[in-house]
Amino acid sequence: MQHLGYTRSSHQRDHLLLTGDTFVRAPLPGMEKATAIVHVSPAAGAAFTQYTVEFEAGGSVATAGHQRFLYVLEGEVTLGSRTLAPDQYAYLPADCSTPIAASAAARAAVIEKPYRPLPDAAAPHLLFGDERTVPATPLDGDPDLEVRALLPGHAAFDFAVNTMTYQPGAALRMVEIHVMEHGLLMLAGGGIYRLGDHWYPVTAGDFIWMAPYCPQWFGALGKTPAKYLIYKDWNRHPL
């Protein structure tokens, strides 16, 4: 059907909502038989880059340069001898030069951030995980809102990536306003996201960037849980 120029996507000073109908694909250097949908980058004001990489069979993405977080969305990807299936993930330190590859079509979320070292903490090493086996913590004691921290909380890591799962009707207890920025990929379900002074219906597949201090709130709607993958800068002094 003709969309007559309508989209739910929105670009505001302190946030960005990107829906699948506005995604633009382009290769990045080091990609073979793979393409990227760059959701956010310093060009939009973010201090990190997040993209979805879409692999064709036999596709690969070169690494090194920056630390990365890799989360498989569909199909299987390999990193050296390790194979990662949906909901499995890896943290790749900046000196990791093993390419990410896929023998069949696959999709993965990638987050890159220049590492900010601390004088008294060694940089983190390569790490693998499986979201489905990460213990859940109820947010603010709410059993209907589960947080799973995918990376260790210690100070060597300068960012966090969590999943948040909301039972239908569950909501953030407060409108958050904080110094950390967020990159958010809706993995399942949907609801209403408040960003700044806007309230958006959001659904699986949408991407959201929240700048530092962007007022934010989410309430889950529908009959199935809503779940998102969320990045935030963490463990570093703001100056």
* Residues engaged in binding ligand UGY (CB under 6 A): 164, 176, 182, 216, 218, 230, 232
Rounded alpha-carbon distances, angstroms, from residue 72 to 8, 19, 128: 25, 19, 12
- Which tokens is 178 given? 């904080």
Q: Are 145 and 138 in contact (CB under 8 A)?
A: yes
Under the binding rule (CB under 5 A), the answer on residue 176 touching Mn ion is yes
For position 14 contacting Mn ion by CB under 5 A, the verdict is no
Contacts with Mn ion by CB under 5 A: the residue count is 1
Q: Verify binding: residue 142, Mn ion, rule CB under 5 A.
A: no
| 131 φ/ψ angles, rounded to the nearest 5 degrees | -55, -35
Mark the segment that binds Mn ion (CB under 5 A) among 13-21, 86-94, 153-161, 176-184.
Answer: 176-184
Least distance (Å) between residue 42 CB and ligand UGY: 21
| Closest-approach residue to ligand UGY (CB) | 216
Q: Measure the CA angle with vertex 209, ends 26 and 110; round to 5°.
A: 50
Closer to Mn ion by Cβ: residue 39 or 107: 39
Give the pairing of strands 127-130 and 142-149.
unpaired
Supply the minimum distance, in Å, between the C-beta of residue 177 and ligand UGY. 10
- Per residue, the 3-state secondary structure of 35-78, as one string, reads EEEEEECHHHCCCCEEEEEEEEEEEEECCCCCEEEEEEEECCEE
Cβ 98 to ligand UGY shortest distance, Å = 30
**Distance in Å, CB of 4 to ligand UGY, minimum:** 31
What is the nearest approach in angstroms of ligand UGY to the Cβ of residue 22?
A: 21
Nearer to ligand UGY, 32 or 142 (CB): 142
The rounded distance, in Å, linking the Cα atoms of 78 and 86 is 12
